[in-house]
Each structure stands twice: as C-alpha cells, then as structure tokens.
Chain A
C-alpha cells in the first residue's frame, strides 16, 4: 500500500474520464456540493504516527459523511479504510469522530457541516488502520457484565412463556436499544483517562437485564458492576447520553446503579442478617 499522499486529492484529479465527476447522487437533479474532508490516516505496516490527508469529492447536498467517504474510496483513494454496513444507524459500525464529535458517519448530514470536515477514528480506542479502531477492550468488557437474560427460575417449555406486562417492559426498553456503536466510550472522558473503567454501554446493558422482570442475574452482574472499575469510576459527565444515536441514556442507568449499589452496601454491612460479609 502506498504511503498517504500529502495535499488534496480530488475526484476530478483521479477520475479516468477527465472532468467527469462520479457522484453517488440519485437521479432527479438534486443539488450537489464539493465536500472537503480531512481524514486521519494510519498504516500499521509503515507508519509510527497518524496524519491527516485532505480529500475533495462532489456529493449530493442531502448526503451524509459516510457517502462522502464512500465517494473517496470509489473514485479517489481505494486505500482508505473504514467500517460501515447498514447506512441507516442500525448496525453501529461507522462510529467515528466528525469535527471532534463522536458520530455515526451515516447519521452525520453534510448539510450540518460547513467548510472542511475533519474525520478521525473513534477516540479512546487504538487505531487499527485509518478510521478502523480496535474494539477488543469493549468486547471483553461486554462479556464480563453478562448482557443476556439469566432466568430467575428455569421452567420446562410446556410450562409456557415468561410473561411480562407492558409496564415491566417499559422499565428496561430504552436500554435495550443499544447498538454497541461505542460512541459513548469515545465521548466518556473517564474511560479515556482510566481505560479499566467498564464504561457506559456495557454497564447500561447490565442495567437493562437487571431491570428485566424475568431476570435473576443481578447478583452475578454486580460482581463486576459494583467494583471500582464498574459504576464507581463514573463521575456523571453525561457525555455518553448526549452522543448516543439510539437515544439510550447510559448516564441515567449508571446513576441508578450507583444508588442501588449503595443500598446493597447498606443492607450487606449495616443491617444485621443482611447477608453481610
């Protein structure tokens, strides 16, 4: 792979047919605009530092930053690496820093940006290559909080389904909307400063199952959530909830978990017969 070229590379320069500018625009004469991107690049085989590279591509005005990146990849620089899949804010793959804000590239509308758009890989995660980050730390933490239903009592299938009222569903519904995009980790300064922190999304998913009327696994999850590295590393900055594209509120989940963990502590240590250690 050639090293990143300095200066601006534009679709017009690279297009094999001279001035014909490739555009992902739909037919129907939508307005187009030249988008200037400043993309952080890192090649693990040759680089020791990451550096910015400028691109200019023509995109439909109603497009998103992911469209601009796809246009760069298709017609300017096929070596650019980034993750994406659904293009509709469901899969959570295309999280990146756009002008310093953790965003899904498919959910960052070009009309909201003027001038050069700076695109960087998600903060707080190691850069694998260009805009691709290594999610290993988050994946490992996610497993530790057991984000799955641990039934209170197992019963045979012919005993029927586990029933739940709408009110019981509402208690955890918003927390089940997490798409594991890790924007909250990129927004959380405490995770950046103290990487051992279990972090917003994983703890919020623990809370989601703790709040489920069918679940009996809270005691097991507390072994991780109620440690120093769990909820107690959170100082309620609130950035996680501000950047969440799925409108989950991790800051709320973590404060509720702190209160519940404090009540646990009082029961365990101050109330006689409260299962104290």
Chain B
C-alpha cells in the first residue's frame, strides 16, 4: 500500500485558541511583559535614588496619577499570578522523596506559599507598613 499521509500545519500565531489550557499557559507567559516593565521602573527608581533627595522625592510624586495606578494594578495581578503558578510548579520541578514515599505535591507548594506570606510580611514590616 502506498502511503500518502496528510500533514496538518499548526498555526504559529493562533494555536493557543485551540484549548483553554493553552490560554492559561499564555496568560502565565504574558505576565513577563508586565513584570519586565515593572523591573524597568525599578532600574529608574534606583537611578533616581542615586541622584539624591530631590530626585527621589520627585520620582515618588511622579508615581501618583491614574495611569501609574493602573500600571501598578496590572503589575500586581501579573506578579501575583506569576507567583501562584511558580509555587504550584515547584512540586513538579523539585519532588521530594522521604524514605519510600514522595512528599505530597501540595505540601511542597504549600510550604512555598507559607514562605511567601512570611517574606512579604517581613518586607511590609521593615518598610513600616505593618
């Protein structure tokens, strides 16, 4: 029997609409746009801090405004979504075998969430927020 297989191309620009799980994956990847943009803001912040008191206080003032608040909210959602997906993934990347059995995955991820809460609380405390 001669073979004449039909090869189907995957669309490189719209494949992620084929299944909800692909959209979930893409939303995880897209967080990098907002996190990356926020990192650029951090570079600017360090520059302003190095430039002295006036520059820094001007920077803090410039942060105020609706566009900045909107950007911060987007960055916050992106960063939190990144964190959640990252911690959920730790159990896959670093499974832990104790004796014969593997530690349940949600224990590994749960430990990361606890550490996240403690570290975030610590930073807020050091910054004088709480």
Contacts and interface: CB of A to CB of B under 8 A. Distances in A.
Does A touch B (CB under 8 Å) in the complex?
yes
Interface of A: 42, 44-45, 47, 49-50, 100-101, 123-124, 126-128, 134, 166-167, 170-171, 189, 192-193, 235-239, 241-242, 249, 251-252, 255-256, 258-259
A101 B102 CA distance: 30
B5 A44 contact: yes
Interface string B1-39: 011111110101001101101100100010000000000
A242 B93 CA distance: 16
A238 B26 CA distance: 12
A99 B92 CA distance: 28
B93 A255 contact: yes
B125 to A, nearest CB: 33
Nearest to A124: B10
Contacts of B102: 170
Contacts of A126: 5-8
Interface in B49-104: 89, 91-95, 97, 99-102
6 contacts: A44-B5, A134-B5, A170-B97, A238-B25, A239-B22, A251-B92
Contact of B10 (A193, A238, A258): A193
Contacts, number: 77
Contacts of A50: 6, 8
B35 to A, nearest CB: 17
Across the A-B interface, the 7 shortest Cβ-Cβ residue pairs: A126-B5, A44-B4, A255-B93, A192-B10, A252-B92, A127-B6, A167-B100
Nearest to B95: A252
Contacts of B18: 100
Contacts of A258: 93
Given A127-B8, A192-B10, A170 B100 contact: yes
Contacts of A192: 10, 15
Given A193-B12, A239-B21, 10 more contacts: A44-B4, A50-B6, A123-B10, A124-B10, A134-B3, A167-B99, A170-B97, A251-B92, A255-B89, A255-B92
A30 B2 CA distance: 44
Contacts of B5: 44, 126-128, 134
B93 A256 contact: yes
A238 B20 CA distance: 13
A241 B4 CA distance: 32
B6 A42 contact: yes
Nearest to B18: A100
A237 B6 contact: no
Contacts of A241: 92
Given A237-B25, A255-B92, A128 B16 contact: no
A23 B31 CA distance: 52
Contacts of B95: 252, 256
Contact of A252 (B4, B93, B99, B100): B93
A49 B8 CA distance: 10
A47 B6 CA distance: 9
B75 to A, nearest CB: 22
B89 A236 contact: yes
B16 A189 contact: yes
B7 to A, nearest CB: 5
Given A100-B19, A171-B97, A44 B6 contact: yes
Contacts of B12: 193
A193 to B, nearest CB: 6
Contacts of B22: 189, 237, 239
A123 B11 CA distance: 12
Contacts of A189: 10, 15-16, 22, 25
A80 B71 CA distance: 55
